[in-house]
Amino acid sequence: MEGQVHVMFVLINVLGMLLGARGKDYASAVGDPGMRRDGLRVGFEAWNFCNEVGQEAPEMGSPRAADCFDLSNSSLVHKVSEAENKLGVGKPFPGINPGALKNPDLYAAEKEKYLGSLCQVEDKPQPWQFWMVMLKNGNYDTTSGLCPENGKKVPPFEPGGFPCSGDGCMNQPILFHQPTQLLEDGTTMTGSFNGTFELDAEVGGGLTSFYEVVWEKKLGVGSWVFKHKLKTSKKYPWLMLYLRADATKGFSGGYHYDTRGMLKTLPESPNFKVRLTLDIKQGGGPKSQFYLVDIGSCWKNDGRQCDGDVLSDVTRYSEMIINPQTAAWCGPTSQKNCPPYHITPKNIKIYRNDTAHFPYGAYHYYCAPGNAQHLEQPVDTCDPYSNPQAQEIVQLLPHPIWADYGYPTKQGDGWEGDGRTWELDVGGLSSRLYFYQDPGTTPARRIWRSIDMGTEIFVSDKDEVAEVSGLVIGSYIEAMAKGSIIAICQSGGKFTTGSDGSLSYTGGDAHAIGVSHETKFNELKSEMAEMWKYAPNAMAIKYFLPNNKKTLITISSNKDIKRMIDFHKDSGTVDVYITIDENPTNNVSPVPCSRSSRTTVAESVTPLFNLFPVSSVSGDSGQLNTSTPVTFGDGNGNTEQPNILVDGNIGQPNILVDGNIGQPNIIVDGNIGQPNFLAPVGSDVGDAAQQKLYKSWKNSITGVHQKFKNVHEFRDALRKYATSHGFTYTFKKNECTRVTAKCKGEGCPWRVHASRVPTTQLFQIKTMNATHTCRTGTELANPRSASRKLVACIVKEKLLETPNSKPRDIAEQIHRNFGIELKYSQAWRGIETAREELQGSCKASYNRLPWLCQKIVETNPGSVVTLITREDLSFHRLFVAFHASLCGFQNGCRPLIFLDTLTLKSKYQSELLTATALDGDDGIFPVAFAVVDVLNDDNWHWFLLQLKSALSACQPITFVADRDKGLRQSIFTVFETSYHAYCLHHLIEEFKKDLQGSCTEEDVNVIITHLYDASHAGTIDGFRKSIGNIRQISTHACEWILLSEPEHWANALFEGSRYNHTSSAIAESFYSWVTELPVLPVVQIIDTVRRKVMELIYNRRMDSNRWLTRLTPSLEEKLQKEILKAQSLQVQLGLNSAFEVCDGLGVVNVVNIDLGKCSCGDWQLNGYPCFHAVAVLQRMGEDLYNYCSKYYTTETFQSTYTESINPLPPVDKQPVDIESEQILPPPLRRASGPPKKRRIRSKGPKRPLRCSKCNGVGHNRATCHVYA
């Protein structure tokens, strides 16, 4: 609509804390309730999309202004005159850098510092509030790539682009200032900033942007109240207006200047909170945003603190958007919009590729910071290495996972009709939000710089009006009870000594806990050990006395804790440092030993990683953990009662509270999507972890009365004990009921005797002489005498660290850490033995397949499972399709299936065949899979037969798959009415292989580009144009392409509906974890697939229950983009339902709304209106959503995930029925060379043999008969 505007009115009342009965329980964030003062400090700054000033508005001066005054005898004493507020380029003022006098960008920075010096607050020890009003504008003619380097202009905009009053700039606002004054009643103070961006305003046409900020207060009563208004225009569709509260010395908010907030610091206390009451009268549309609280902080990518250097400082903003129409851009299929990981209140990391547990709906958008040293040509807007803007943004949405911090937990909280008071744990949330740093750098200490509240309005298709009324906003640090203090616990860094002998601590990580006189030392030590996964007996806890940074005080008792609290009672916080003893004493030494089959050798050990740390859902690779499943569900297949794991370290349920539903979502294993015997943890193996293992081995035997589960556990503990103490021993008795071992050292009295406890399997030490007289620990025992069991024990522990280790790597690590030399064959056998102990036998696993098939059908009725063996009873093939997957596909997915295969890691040849669909949000939806012994046409044909049987009655399906001849024939044989779309990726690989040598690499790349264009062209003319471009480069290439059956891969010629998806490898995004697994038994592979699909269905069902849009989020976004592109089109009414649509270049497309077609072809291809159709439908007043495919609606999406996959009993704990028919593994078949990741693809049409003499076909020049 011409003259349409986008408006948001925001009224924010900012009132001081009502201390009331709480007295001094609350304090201002900056130590003094500055917003209750009669004096005021308000600064105004405006900048554009690129954080630059650009051309000044005529007669307005630089867009920086200040209103600051003190009260004297009921009179306002202003610190800044209006002449100073009107200072503009070319007008000098005290202290200006001469080089900035003619540069509007640098001039604004200098003026900002000058006005700040006039308004400077010097109250000690802490300054009071300074309010910043920040106004920012933007338009869609700009991108990050157009942003200038510091102090430089961007290039001129293209003709017809955004109007600008100067070359390469964006307009700055006209600013009118009403200085704060006393009204006639003598009790009310009020002032304002207001203006417009429209230098060529068309008031009559409603095209004028408008902003206004008004502040007022009663003398000596209440707090300052700020009221905001915003109105966008067609020329300025993006405006942001913020109110920022700062503790200040000067004021600053710009990003490209050395004053950008560096002087303002809020308390670092993790107990920092904000109290806020809002009453929103009318919210905006889907593209308007209101930031509940925006926390600004600063650091450098390399870990250092900010110092004002614009080339390396990073400003960070963490924003909570409460508009219920704001959908998450972050999602499983758009992970680049998500932070790399989410941190739970218990400091557990959940990585964004963990699609089963990452809370995608809690994050709207994440933007990594860049570095202004690099060229302004970003690979991506938020690419950390080329993004020109050195700022980081994480935008949050209401979600249950924020409940612990007091933030909104669901869409609509705090919005229209929901005026409530929030007590937000800003410190707790901010300290756990991911922030970017360059890899390998020391962790930075984040310093919070500001608290912001504000609005942001983007362009939309209708007026956006919002009115927000706040009753109370305040900041406080919650007072601790008497005799308590906040301990900021730090570890992982290092101490450095200054020139005066004082110590400073840098790097590492920090956590905060409350400590009181009632805190017990052992409890405190255990809690700290849990924070960093340290062994408690390897830790030292230290702190500094007040005003003494030279001497560290050690905490070792309850009294020490009380003394620390008393020493720091006036500060409220204390820094506590946790260190690890890196050089534990070892007062035992090995002795030489003779060769003996009854002798066990133990070497001095470079300690390994703790074998049993607490489970984590982190996606880090490397360190691993064991977890033991104890129960699955409620026994009735109820998926709402998920699985529990007992962690091998503490024997307690390891529960992860799923933020999506606010209910315990107890993870199936320690690492989501990994088998239940391995779970990675999120810390590197370092000296501390090695020392922890070392000490745990030294204490594996403690003395008389110690008990073990059985004789095997005792022998294992004995081996570890001797290894860590560096001595050898020999067995005097070694039976299943009693074991006696003696030190091998000549005359050494060390001896231990253990026996079985009657009526049990427990083993108990009866007698022990722990004294050595053999100088143990002074030299290594003979490595060549290491027993096979000791080697197997060490190999097993190495596998727990790195499950994909190769034999050569294992041998090198064992030699480096233990001094034991292993042959390749010994390491290989050790790996095989260890894996069988950890995972079970791969061979025996095949015999559990009948039980697994039976349990799948019993717990998931309606599922289809088929197991086939060969005549010799060896495994042949297994098909699995869960009832939930089949129902989801038939109820909500497009009739589009992608066929693909992956090679499984196994000592037996195994391939995974997959049939995958897409849901209405373009998310992967597994339909069925099969494990087969070999990849061939027969197995593919059988797989398709099983799939057809499982789907029963269904409409014609389009299969996207490789153009292998056997697979192609099977598709049309089994699914007679189906369509086969060739995978474009595989087609291009064949093309490059066949044309190798006949075209230059540069020509091939250009041809491939045109081939992509030909594939995606929606019209015959577009296809022919791309083919013609290829023919001009190479006729041979053109012939190859035309012989490759383009009717199966070109949109313009394809008869089926593939919704513009061209690659069959789409399933790899779901099944990629398969190739990363270690070698697993087949039942564990199948059950891992089941658990992954179960988690996917459950989480997507819960996510979709919060959607408020008619279309799924990704499709809603696509439709909005089409709506935006349609605004400049002209529609000509045609006959009946046909319309002509003309763009700015004169290109005409014909749209038929009855047939759902557009001559561009995109409407038919995608299933939702293209921008030509959008222009017509809007002109006709039609509802766009009625013309979108039903598969894209939220309702259909929810029906896709209605059914659940139920849990199974533990697959690795079921006994094998020895009386049942045995299933043998498939034959061992190992091809030469490395295993292939994919099946050998068909070569497709080949170029005929051509003679270089006569140019004839079918012979070469050597056999040419024409010139014979």
**pLDDT confidence of residue 1215:** 54
In a domain, 717, yes or no: no
Domain boundary among 1039, 1062, 1085: 1062
Q: Beta strands 875-881 and 924-932: pairing type?
A: antiparallel
Residue 228's nearest CA partner among 452, 509, 493, 531 is 452
**pLDDT confidence of residue 1242:** 44
In a domain, 1257, yes or no: no
**Any alpha helices (H) in 610-747, and if so which ranges?**
687-698, 711-725
The number of CA neighbours under 13 Å toward the Cβ of 348 is 25
CA distance 1073 to 353: 10
Domain boundary among 514, 549, 580: 580
Cβ atoms within 10 A of the Cβ of 72, count?
A: 9
Residue 789's nearest CA partner among 718, 739, 741 is 718
**Any alpha helices (H) in 239-288, and if so which ranges?**
none
Q: How far is CA 1160 from CA 415, 545, 1052, 1144, in A?
A: 42, 75, 10, 16
In a domain, 451, yes or no: no
**Strand order across the 174-182 sheet:** 6-12, 221-232, 210-218, 188-196, 174-182
In a domain, 495, yes or no: yes
CA distance 924 to 930: 17
CB 792 within 8 A of CB 774: no
Structure tokens at 1038: 């053109």
**pLDDT confidence of residue 461:** 38
Expressed as residue numbers, the domain containing 532 is 484-580
Question: Which of helix, strand or coil describes residue 495?
Answer: strand
In a domain, 832, yes or no: yes
Strand partners, 341: 351
Q: How far is CA 605 from CA 25, 694, 772, 783, 983, in A?
A: 54, 7, 19, 12, 54
Residue 387's nearest CA partner among 373, 370, 374, 372 is 370
**Strand order across the 272-282 sheet:** 420-424, 272-282, 467-477
End-to-end Cα spacing for the chain: 79
Print burial letters for 462-498: b (CB count within 10 Å at least 16), e (below 16).
eebbbbbebebbbbbbbebeeebbbbbbbbbbeeeee
Same domain membership, residue 1050 and residue 1129? no
Cβ atoms within 10 A of the Cβ of 103, count?
A: 17
CB 1056 within 8 A of CB 981: yes
Same domain membership, residue 1130 and residue 1045? no
Same domain membership, residue 553 and residue 488? yes
Residue 54's nearest CA partner among 159, 139, 180, 132 is 139
CA distance 322 to 414: 7
CA distance 718 to 768: 12
Structure tokens at 1122: 């089409």
**pLDDT confidence of residue 1171:** 92
In a domain, 869, yes or no: no
Print burial letters for 852-861: b (CB count within 10 Å at least 16), e (below 16).
bbebbeebbe
**pLDDT confidence of residue 789:** 63
CB 959 within 8 A of CB 927: no
In a domain, 1117, yes or no: yes
In a domain, 569, yes or no: yes
Structure tokens at 4: 């349409």
Q: Read off the DSSP letter of residue 1257.
A: B
Q: What is the pLDDT of residues 867-878, one digit of tens each?
A: 998 888 889 999
Same domain membership, residue 502 and residue 566? yes
CA distance 1176 to 1123: 11
CA distance 491 to 1188: 55
CB 1112 within 8 A of CB 1193: yes
Q: In the chain, which residues have pLDDT < 50?
A: 1-33, 124-127, 139-154, 156-169, 203, 247-267, 269-270, 372, 374-376, 458-482, 582-691, 777-785, 1218-1219, 1232, 1237-1244
Counting the structural domains of the chain, the total is 4
* Strands in 522-649 per DSSP E: 539-544, 552-555, 573-580, 599-600, 627-631, 644-647
CATH at 573: 3.10.20.90
Strand partners, 246: 130
CB 330 within 8 A of CB 365: yes
Domain boundary among 1062, 1095, 1130: 1062
Residue 928's nearest CA partner among 1086, 1100, 1095 is 1086
Whole-structure pTM over 0.85, yes or no?
A: no
By CB atoms closer than 10 A (0-12, 13-18, 19+), residue 110 is buried
CA distance 1135 to 1137: 6
**pLDDT confidence of residue 866:** 92
